[in-house]
Chain A
Amino acid sequence: MTSQVFRPAARPIWKERPAPAYQSIKALVLGGFAIAIIVPILVVVSTSLASDQDIIEAGGYVLWPKHPTVKAYETLFSGGLMGRAIMVSVFVTLVGTALALVTTISLAYATSRPVLFGRPVLLLVLFTLLFAPGIIPMFLIVKQLGLIDSLWSLILPGALGAFNFVVMRTFFMNVPQELLESARIDGASDFTILRRIVMPLSKAVIAVVGLFYAVGFWNAFFNALLYLNDTSKWPVQVILRTYVLQGKSLSADQLGVTPPPQPQSLQMAVVVVALVPIAMVYPFLQRHFTKGVITGAVKG
């Protein structure tokens, strides 16, 4: 059931052909929703690629750039604040995801078997789903650890997500016990079993959980706002807030370029930079989502 989420396409004999009225309502609802998602993204991407006169002609926004240019991106990447922010975000995402995957996989595997301390540790994790420690105590702990203004303050608190843990553990519990036992009889240690048998079998779920973590680290905004005062360590999301939402302008020396291009296309380029990594990994992992989420959520 979990692998076959979609029903076969053929219309069952008992199912009547939908009346045109229903069909048009469906088309209207689904089509409208899809358009509402696509159009803003398209406008933002187009505007970021539009030339100055395109923007002036269109009065602010363009649906399709007539004279496409990458000037806005050149400006952003010519050093300065934005270039650093991208480096920070990439670093936090890569290191954070790797660390979180190691933590989650090993903990999920260990608690997926009836081993010493397995049960109490599982309860320790599940309790975190019920109660949130709160912003102030988290801030105080991070401060006590001396992580304020350190990029580790963005990485370490995100190193284990309870939901991702549950997804991973559910998947590991479905690995046939016989496989593990035969490996154990052959003299494999638990580390070897995890690395050579369980992980290769769980590529799909590792990909999905890895994506969830990566997206979380890439999108992290509030932790950066809370823990980082040093503007040179700001990740992309905080730049996005400051220069697009709050509309503070980037000065020429922050950009490293004079004269700066149209602020409109520059702002849109910041939006696109925040968007692109997600749009890039998304198609490759999309087919695994349903499987990953359902193993975790419904069977959980």
Chain B
Amino acid sequence: METSTPMDAKSTSTTTDPSTLTAGATTGPPRATERTPGAGPRSTRRVKAQLPFGVRWRRDWQMVLMMVPGVLFLIVFFYLPVLGNVVAFQDFQPYLGIMHSEWNGLQNFVNLYANPDFWDALRNTMILAGVQLLLFFPVPLAMALIVDSLVSNRIRRAFQTIAYLPHFLSWVLVIALFQQSLGGAGFVNNLLRQAGLDPIPFMTNPDTFPLLVVGQLIWKDAGWAMIIFLAALSAVDVSLYEAAAADGAGRWRRLWHITLPSMRTVIVLLLILRIGDILSVGFEQFILQRDSVGPGAAEVLDTFTYYAGVVGGDWSSGAAAGLAKGVVGALLLWGANSIAHRLGEPGIFQKRSGS
């Protein structure tokens, strides 16, 4: 408010004294000519970038100060651990530390290559990731299409409220609920026994474990994954439907020619993210069920890393497996994204640089 007083003073002076009006008009043009030597219009951002460092520092030091806690966090809990991956190339001994442990090149990776347990973990990871991609991915999309077709807002909101809830429960809780429902002593098997039937080992059968895992994932996250599809659906231009209907397109035609093409970008985006994350099939979910199903079915790359490294004390093998997983995951993400680009989709990176 204080800085606006000069403006007020100027405006009052122009209204009281007409002579200052012309004076203002004569002082106007010189300012304009000051700007013109700068060779045409420039974006404000460009001008700011050209300011000398000292000026920017004096203007921005508070903002830079605000970045400090976050950057410190990133360095300590992300970039240092990333560098810590060098133990994958060492014969790491905890009492010697990273600085004094001996380097052994790619030996840890060679050991992994020869380790059947690692291949089992890799195979399980791929199987589970494949099953998840095939069985989980379409569910939220289908659910979003159904929910979007509901006319009653009340039913729609009620369903969304219920469907989002399990996303906020921990994996321990979800698996506890599954165990209490489907476990050997759980209430479904209780009902079966009371009806004189044999109980079904839902929770402990290694052969059906992938299906159980996908069931848990759908129970927990399908409702939540629906949100983004619903948002994309609500952004579809209604006049397209109207025009199509006027041309005689029925509901399936409209779904195929309007709804699904409009959602293609979002579907591709989510698919890419899913592929980038494919090797992280769900760590907590598996570590929690490894005891009841056995490592034969529930050992994935993450649990292998944990049991080999932290529990078994073979730090270097664990780190090598973890590093291999991280690198492959990043490559998959990058690969899926560039394929999407080639197919003319925005993908993820392009979107981000645009923001």
Chain A residues packing against B (C-beta within 8 Å)? 1-2, 4-7, 9-12, 14-16, 18, 26, 29-30, 33-34, 36-41, 43-44, 59-61, 102-104, 106-107, 109-111, 113-118, 121, 124-126, 128, 130-141, 145, 156-157, 159-160, 165, 170, 173, 185-187, 189-191, 194, 215, 218-222, 225-226, 237, 240-241, 244-246, 268, 271, 274-275, 278-279, 282-283, 286, 289-290, 293-294, 297-300
| Residue interface bits B236-280, CB-to-A below 8 A is 1, else 0 | 001001100110001100000000000000100000000010001
Interface residues of B in 67-86 (CB under 8 A from A): 67, 69-71, 73-74, 76-85
CA–CA, A294 to B152, complex, Å?
22
CA–CA, A283 to B250, complex, Å?
38
Given contacts A221-B284, A278-B169, contact A43 B69 (CB under 8 A): no
Chain B residues bordering chain A, tally (CB within 8 A): 115
Residues of B with C-beta under 8 A to A104: 70
Nearest B residue to A132 via CB reads B326
| Residue interface bits B318-341, CB-to-A below 8 A is 1, else 0 | 110011011101100110000000
Residues of B with C-beta under 8 A to A141: 76-77, 80-81, 84
In the complex, the answer to whether A33 meets B310 with C-beta atoms within 8 Å is: no
Given contacts A132-B280, A286-B164, contact A138 B180 (CB under 8 A): no
Chain B residues packing against A (C-beta within 8 Å)? 1-4, 45, 48, 53, 56-57, 59-60, 62-64, 66-67, 69-71, 73-74, 76-85, 87, 98, 143, 146-153, 155-157, 159, 161-166, 168-173, 175-181, 185-187, 190, 194, 219, 222-223, 227-228, 230-232, 234-235, 238, 241-242, 245-246, 250-251, 266, 276, 280, 283-284, 287-288, 291, 302, 305-306, 309-310, 315, 318-319, 322-323, 325-327, 329-330, 333-334, 351-352, 355
Q: How far is the CB of A85 from chain B (nearest CB, A)?
A: 12
Given contacts A60-B190, A170-B355, contact A116 B64 (CB under 8 A): yes
User: How many inter-chain contacts with C-beta < 8 Å in the A-B complex?
Assistant: 298
Residues of A with C-beta under 8 A to B330: 130-131
4 other contacts beyond A110-B64, A118-B67, with CB at 8 A cut-off?
Answer: A5-B234, A37-B163, A107-B69, A126-B352
Nearest B residue to A34 via CB reads B162
Majority secondary structure, B binding face: helix
Q: How far is the CB of B52 from chain A (nearest CB, A)?
A: 11
Contact sample, A vs B, 27 pairs, CB 8 Å cutoff: A16-B250, A26-B146, A26-B149, A26-B150, A30-B147, A33-B222, A37-B162, A60-B185, A61-B190, A103-B70, A110-B67, A115-B63, A116-B56, A116-B57, A128-B78, A130-B276, A133-B84, A134-B319, A136-B318, A156-B73, A160-B70, A189-B62, A220-B170, A221-B170, A222-B283, A283-B161, A294-B228
Residues of B with C-beta under 8 A to A34: 159, 162-163
Closest 5 CB pairs of A and B: A137-B84, A107-B70, A134-B322, A219-B170, A14-B245
CA–CA, A237 to B143, complex, Å?
30
Residues of B with C-beta under 8 A to A136: 84, 87, 305, 309-310, 315, 318-319, 322
Nearest A residue to B157 via CB reads A6
CA–CA, A18 to B251, complex, Å?
9
CA–CA, A140 to B305, complex, Å?
13
In the complex, the answer to whether B70 meets A190 with C-beta atoms within 8 Å is: no
In the complex, the answer to whether B98 meets A140 with C-beta atoms within 8 Å is: yes
CA–CA, A134 to B283, complex, Å?
12
Majority secondary structure, A binding face: helix
Residues of A with C-beta under 8 A to B284: 221-222
Q: How far is the CB of A23 from chain B (nearest CB, A)?
A: 10
Residues of B with C-beta under 8 A to A109: 63, 66
In the complex, the answer to whether A137 meets B87 with C-beta atoms within 8 Å is: yes
In the complex, the answer to whether B245 meets A275 with C-beta atoms within 8 Å is: no
Residues of B with C-beta under 8 A to A18: 149
Nearest A residue to B150 via CB reads A26
In the complex, the answer to whether A135 meets B74 with C-beta atoms within 8 Å is: no
Given contacts A9-B152, A109-B66, A136-B310, contact A289 B164 (CB under 8 A): yes
Q: How far is the CB of A283 from chain B (nearest CB, A)?
A: 8
Q: How far is the CB of A296 from chain B (nearest CB, A)?
A: 10
In the complex, the answer to whether B326 meets A103 with C-beta atoms within 8 Å is: no
Residues of B with C-beta under 8 A to A9: 151-153
Residues of B with C-beta under 8 A to A44: 177, 180
Q: How far is the CB of A287 from chain B (nearest CB, A)?
A: 9
Of A11, A106, A156, A237, which contacts B170 at CB under 8 A? Answer: A237
In the complex, the answer to whether A135 meets B305 with C-beta atoms within 8 Å is: yes
Q: How far is the CB of B238 from chain A (nearest CB, A)?
A: 7
Of A1, A140, A215, A298, which contacts B87 at CB under 8 A? Answer: A140
CA–CA, A245 to B185, complex, Å?
12
In the complex, the answer to whether A135 meets B329 with C-beta atoms within 8 Å is: no
In the complex, the answer to whether B194 meets A12 with C-beta atoms within 8 Å is: no
In the complex, the answer to whether A37 meets B81 with C-beta atoms within 8 Å is: no
Residues of A with C-beta under 8 A to B62: 189-191
Nearest A residue to B1 via CB reads A186
CA–CA, A136 to B143, complex, Å?
39
In the complex, the answer to whether B3 meets A185 with C-beta atoms within 8 Å is: yes
Residues of B with C-beta under 8 A to A278: 168-169
CA–CA, A279 to B329, complex, Å?
34
Of A15, A145, A187, which contacts B2 at CB under 8 A? Answer: A187
Of B60, B64, B306, which contacts A135 at CB under 8 A? Answer: B306
In the complex, the answer to whether B310 meets A226 with C-beta atoms within 8 Å is: yes
Residues of B with C-beta under 8 A to A244: 176, 179
In the complex, the answer to whether A111 meets B162 with C-beta atoms within 8 Å is: no
